Structure 1
Amino acid sequence: MSRAATTPPSLLAVFAHPDDESLVSGGVLARHAAAGARTAVLTATWSPGTYRAAELADAVRALGAEPPHLLGYADDRVPDSAPGQPRWCDVPLDEAVARVVAVIRATRPEIVLTHDAYGGLTGHPDHRRTHRVTLLAAAAAGLGHLHPEAGEPWQPSAVYLATHPDTAVTDLGPLLTRARKSVLAVPHDQVSAVVDVRPWLDRKWAAILAHRSQVERERPLPGILARLPTETRHRIIGTEYYMRAVLTPASRPLPDLTP
């Protein structure tokens, strides 16, 4: 990293659904939390009090992060995820951005993590919506004249987009195809950070298993992973990949996710 190991950059992970945080960024979150960095998770969908919100709280605890923040909107494909609330994809853009700005200003992260522009391997519409909203919110959070009701301005230094390069889907790609899911990988040369998270695999896997409702089913990724041989599963989840979006002037050093 570009700083002393005793002061790692603080993180806010902004993802669409409970389990996204564990599947694509659980290792980085566990590593930063273990090193003493403030580590927070914001999830766009599922209301507090629902079973998946409870699973999310258990997962985040396993990673060592602080209790999760939930926006409480409905999953695009599960209306009962947030009774009486609009689907995340239908929320007015300004409202969505303002709510994420408020959490950024409250948690004051140096690095924000979120989905890539494709919405990850499966391209879920909630993932793509979260990507767009998070990039706008990360830029707006540092501008005091925007959303003044959301707290004092705070400018993260960078956004890292969780992604999967085409060189790293040999094991997972066919499994997703058989489950009738998309495989939207990016060219490897677009990846900015390759993070070996094997030292934190116990925490990452415990967090994935905390999403019990997804592990019990065959099509969701936690369920697919749970049915694999341990060696194959470790190969799939032992490395995390990110693309970096720069938000600060070039004169400022950029925080790095890699050692």
Structure 2
Amino acid sequence: MTKHILLVHAHPDDESIGQGATMAKYVDEGVGVTLVTCTGGEMGEILVPELAHMAADQDDTLGEQRKIELANAMAELGVTDFRYLGGFGTYRDSGMKWHDDGHAVAADDVHENAFWHADLTEAASHLVSVIREVRPQVLVTYDEFGGYGHPDHIQAHRVATYAVALAAVPSYRPDLGEAHDVAKVYWGAMSASRMRDGLRRLRDAGDTTTFEGMDPDNLPPFVTEDENLAAMVDGNKYYEQKMAALKAHATQITTDGPFFALSNNQGSEVWGNEFFRIAKGSKAGPFNEFGLETDLFNGV
């Protein structure tokens, strides 16, 4: 059996944050890795002052820049098969705003071509063609809340979930390829115990600004309590590759930002180990000392 994993993400940089080490690990082990990015990230916040003119309300060229950054990040991870859903420019970054409760919601003004407005069947069909082409045993995407409420993350979850179902139906769009049933679906997650420990170490070290306002005893929804986790991929060997991929997304992630601050405080353990919830299929051993799968392909 040729192993293959498909990851479905909303914007360039989401993949490196969530599963950069996992992707590098599987590439190194000879597993097929395909990344599908649903938008160009056109509405992202630009953290490089000299590139501020690329913003959506100015030159509106950020998507092209992030396309370059994604290619650079994938080169760091060794991933050669990365695509945009329906092709680059098919769906635009929807943007977001912050709700009073602290999570993301759709912006007041959403572009007519925004991913949030995408027809679900049409978007899912684009992904069905990829699933039937690369025939993955494992697919990784977001949970139903998109981690923190971003409309594009939620839409990516919906599209991936629907596409998995449609891809397995022999009579659905045979023009898109032979039916294929994805054996296991995972939702990317962050371990609550690891995040609490990391935050407390930061505070004990005198850092009060990284993840400012985040309470270790009242963590945001993108953090998952450990009893709901199913798998942990030990990617510590690939930690430096993940950090290099994050740096490649230069308009979005700065080396003095929270990801690197947490890494400087805790080393590779905070971002080298990547966690998952299982959404389709069953947990299968071998398990680590925490009772979590050590390989997303266990049992397939």
Q: What is residue 34 of structure 1 aligned with on the other side?
A: 28
Question: Pairwise mapping of residues 35-184 of structure 1 onto structure 2 (< 5 A)?
Answer: 35-46=29-40, 50-71=64-85, 72=89, 73-77=91-95, 86-120=113-147, 122-170=148-196, 171=198, 175-178=210-213, 183-184=220-221
Tell me the distance in 2 between the aligned counterparts of 1:172 and 1:66: 35
Q: How many residues align?
A: 240
| Residue in structure 2 matching 1:239, options 273, 278, 286 | 273
Q: What is residue 212 of structure 1 aligned with on the other side?
A: 250
Tell me the distance in 1 between the aligned counterparts of 2:2 and 2:213: 40
Runs of 4+ in 1 over 3 A off after TM superposition: 172-179, 226-229
> Do the aligned partners of 1:8 and 1:35 also contact (CA within 8 Å) in 2?
no
Q: Does 1:12 align with 2:22?
A: no
> Do the aligned partners of 2:234 and 2:294 also contact (CA within 8 Å) in 1?
no
Q: What is residue 199 of structure 1 aligned with on the other side?
A: 237
Q: What is residue 19 of structure 2 aligned with on the other side?
A: 25
Q: Structure 1-normalised TM-score?
A: 0.81
SS of 1:113's equivalent in the other structure is strand
Q: What is residue 45 of structure 2 aligned with on the other side?
A: none
**Counterpart amino acid of 2:220?**
V
SS of 1:146's equivalent in the other structure is coil
Return the offset for 1:237.
0.6
Question: Pairwise mapping of residues 244-255 of structure 1 onto structure 2 (< 5 A)?
Answer: 244-246=278-280
Tell me the distance in 2 between the aligned counterparts of 1:217 and 1:151: 43
Q: 1:96 to 1:229 in 2, by over 3 A?
A: closer
Q: Structure 2-normalised TM-score?
A: 0.70
Tell me the distance in 2 between the aligned counterparts of 1:23 and 1:169: 14
Structure 2 unaligned residues grouped into runs of 5+: 42-61, 97-110, 201-208, 285-292
Which stretch has the larger CA shift, 20-29 or 146-155? 146-155
Tell me the distance in 2 between the aligned counterparts of 1:38 and 1:51: 27
RMSD (Å) for aligned C-alpha atoms: 3.2
SS of 2:6's equivalent in the other structure is strand
Return the offset for 1:238.
1.8
Q: What is residue 296 of structure 2 aligned with on the other side?
A: 257
Q: 1:87 to 1:63 in 2, by over 3 A?
A: same
Deviations 1:65-115 (A, max 9, x none): 12311123111118xxxxx87111100111111011111112211111111
Return the offset for 1:224.
2.5
Tell me the distance in 2 between the aligned counterparts of 1:25 and 1:87: 25
